[in-house]
Structures are given as structure tokens and as C-alpha cells.
């Protein structure tokens, strides 16, 4: 499917997503939830895939339309994510938009990181993103193309202390994004990556629970001197999937308050 700006040369309308059919992984919390809200507010039909069940009757409290479809699946499980994407594709009558926000973090230098922590982080962040895209792409090709946004991290771009497994997994997501962009441009699929800096979500809160100074330390890594809001990451994802980004693919965008600029 060619989008309006490709066919008419008309100026693209920023972040208007009417008629788009979107899947967001990790959409029940933090950054994924903000992205799910933002895409749905822009007019996209939405399916959330997450391993955490949707709270019964509480989608409206989360700022999601009550008819949002939720599918419980572990993105690191090949059969589960393949089945979830198949069901999402059926529910939406086609799939043209994908944001892969599900992820986990573990702290530690390389010698401090257990094999089980390495396996867990790489399985979810890198293998899970790979499996999600592998299941979705043939369906997006059938839909005539579309847009994928992966969520990596500033820690996929630069080294930071004691985040060895996480950084390695997110560096993998950055390179996977470029490979996907190269392979699927000819199918009309654009693939871009957002690399958040520190953002106030349950993931970051978990680090702050074990280190009282974590928020201040994270804020100090940015040029803007503060932690980001999930909505500030969602704005970048919404831009990338929209026709306003119709000439952008393979881009890696740090949305990190300048943390990686110095």
C-alpha cells in the first residue's frame, strides 16, 4: 500500500494515523503504553502484545480505548509470538505498523552477569525483537508495506557502567534495525529505531528502588538535567511510523536529553 505522500506529493500530515493497523509489544507499561496511547489517539487501530495481562476493565484508566485488543504472549517464545502476530493480523484485517517496545533490563559488569541473566536479557530484547519482526514482516508485505519502529536504548549506542548484557542486547537491536531497513525497503517497509535515555517508567523505578540516588545520577547524564517522560519517547515513535517520516528508513534516533551527545 502506498501512502498518500508517496502518491500525490502532498505535504504529509504529521502523525495522522487514521486507517493504520498497529501492533505494539510491551504496551501494558511505561514507554510501550505511552506509544500505544499515542498511536491510538492518532487514529490507528491497535493490538497490544505483552506478557503482563491487561487489567480487566481498566484499559480506559490506562488511557487506552476500551476496545483495544490485548494478546498475552512472551515475545521470546517463538510459537507464542508467531501466534500472537497471526491473531493480531486477523483482528486488524491486516498489519502495517509495528512498534517493538517490550524489553527487560539487568545490571552488572560482564564478570558480575550470570549466564541466566545474559540469556534472559538477550532472549527478550534481541531475540524477541527479531522473532516479532520475523512473524510480522510477511504479513506487512501482504498488507502492501508499512513502518516498524524498534525501541533500543542510549545504551545500545555508547558504553555505560555495569550494564553489559543489556547494552549488548540493545546494540544488537540497533544493528537489526539497519538490516531490516536494508532488506525490506523494496517491500515498502520503513524500519527505524528510537534509543531512549533515562525515562520514568517501572523499569527505571526498579533501579531506583535499589539505589536511592539513581534518579539524580540518571538525570545528571543528560544535557537537559532531567529524566524523560514516556510521552517524549512516544512522540518520536509516532513520528517515525507516520507519513511525516516517509523518506526516513534505517535511522537511529537518540531521544535521550542529550545523554549521548557528550
Ligand X SMILES: NC(=O)c1ccc[n+]([C@@H]2O[C@H](COP(=O)([O-])OP(=O)(O)OC[C@H]3O[C@@H](n4cnc5c(N)ncnc54)[C@H](O)[C@@H]3O)[C@@H](O)[C@H]2O)c1
Min. distance of Cβ 66 from ligand X in angstroms?
19
22 neighbors 88 (Cβ within 8 angstroms): no
Residues 202-221 binding ligand X (CB under 6 A) are: 202-204
C-alpha cell, 190: 520503513
Helix, strand counts (H, E) of the chain: 9, 7
- Three-state SS sequence of 180-243: HHHHHHHHCEEEEEEEECCECCHHHHHHHHHCCCHHHHHHHCCCCCCCECHHHHHHHHHHHHCH
**Which of 204, 243 has the CB closer to ligand X?**
204
Min. distance of Cβ 248 from ligand X in angstroms?
20
Min. distance of Cβ 256 from ligand X in angstroms?
8
**135: closest CA among 23, 45, 34?**
23
Centre a 10 Å sphere on the Cβ of residue 11 and count the other Cβ atoms it contains.
10
Residues 117-176 binding ligand X (CB under 6 A) are: 124, 128, 151, 153
**101 forms part of the interface with ligand X (CB under 6 A):** yes
Element (H, E) at 178: helix 164-184
**Which of 3, 102 has the CB closer to ligand X?**
102
Alpha helix (H) ranges present in 9-163?
30-41, 78-92, 115-121, 129-142
Question: Among 130, 166, 239, 240, which one carries the catalytic annotation?
Answer: 166
d(CA 196, CA 151): 8
Virtual CA dihedral for 175, 188, 37, 167, nearest 10 degrees? 0
**Which of 3, 70 has the CB closer to ligand X?**
70
**Which of 26, 188 has the CB closer to ligand X?**
26
The one among 62, 104, 122, 160 contacting ligand X by CB under 6 A: 104
d(CA 164, CA 107): 7
Q: How many residues bind ligand X (CB under 6 A)?
A: 29
d(CA 39, CA 149): 12
**225 forms part of the interface with ligand X (CB under 6 A):** no
- Among this protein's residues, is 166 annotated catalytic? yes
Stretch that binds ligand X, among 25-33, 61-69, 181-189, 241-249 (CB under 6 A): 25-33
**Which of 28, 42 has the CB closer to ligand X?**
28
The one among 17, 31, 46, 121 contacting ligand X by CB under 6 A: 31
Min. distance of Cβ 6 from ligand X in angstroms?
30
**50 forms part of the interface with ligand X (CB under 6 A):** yes
Stretch that binds ligand X, among 5-13, 39-47, 74-82, 134-142 (CB under 6 A): 74-82
Min. distance of Cβ 111 from ligand X in angstroms?
22
**105: closest CA among 166, 58, 52, 146?**
166
User: Interface residues with ligand X (CB under 6 A)?
Assistant: 25-26, 28-32, 50-52, 74-76, 101-105, 124, 128, 151, 153, 196, 198-199, 201-204
**Active-site annotation, residues:** 166
Amino acid at each position: 500500500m502506498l501512502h498518500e505522500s508517496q502518491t500525490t506529493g502532498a505535504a504529509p500530515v504529521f502523525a495522522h494515523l487514521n486507517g493504520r493497523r498497529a501492533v505494539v509489544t510491551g504496551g501494558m507499561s511505561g514507554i510501550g503504553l505511552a506509544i500505544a496511547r499515542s498511536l491510538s489517539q492518532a487514529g490507528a487501530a491497535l493490538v497490544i502484545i505483552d506478557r503482563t495481562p491487561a487489567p480487566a476493565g481498566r484499559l480506559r484508566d490506562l488511557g487506552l480505548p476500551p476496545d483495544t485488543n490485548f494478546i498475552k504472549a512472551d515475545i521470546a517464545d517463538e510459537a507464542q509470538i508467531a501466534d500472537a502476530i497471526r491473531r493480531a493480523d486477523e483482528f486488524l484485517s491486516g498489519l502495517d505498523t509495528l512498534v517493538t517496545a517490550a524489553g527487560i533490563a539487568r545490571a552488572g559488569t560482564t564478570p558480575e552477569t550470570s549466564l541466566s541473566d545474559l540469556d534472559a536479557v538477550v532472549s527478550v530484547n534481541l531475540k524477541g525483537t527479531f522473532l516479532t519482526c520475523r512473524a510480522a514482516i510477511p504479513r506487512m508485505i501482504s498488507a502492501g508495506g508499512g513502518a516498524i519502529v524498534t525501541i533500543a536504548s542510549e545504551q545500545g549506542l555508547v558504553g555505560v557502567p555495569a550494564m553489559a548484557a543489556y547494552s549488548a542486547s540493545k546494540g544488537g537491536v540497533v544493528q537489526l534495525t539497519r538490516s531490516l531497513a536494508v532488506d525490506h525497503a523494496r517491500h515498502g517497509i520503513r524500519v527505524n529505531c528510537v534509543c531512549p535515555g533515562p525515562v520514568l517508567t517501572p523499569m527505571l523505578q526498579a533501579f531506583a528502588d535499589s539505589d536511592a540516588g539513581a534518579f539524580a545520577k540518571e538525570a545528571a547524564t543528560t544535557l537537559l538535567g532531567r529524566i524523560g517522560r514516556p510521552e517524549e519517547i512516544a512522540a518520536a515513535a509516532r513520528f517515525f511510523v507516520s507519513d511525516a517520516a516517509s523518506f526516513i528508513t534505517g535511522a537511529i534516533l537518540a531521544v535521550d536529553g542529550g545523554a549521548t551527545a557528550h
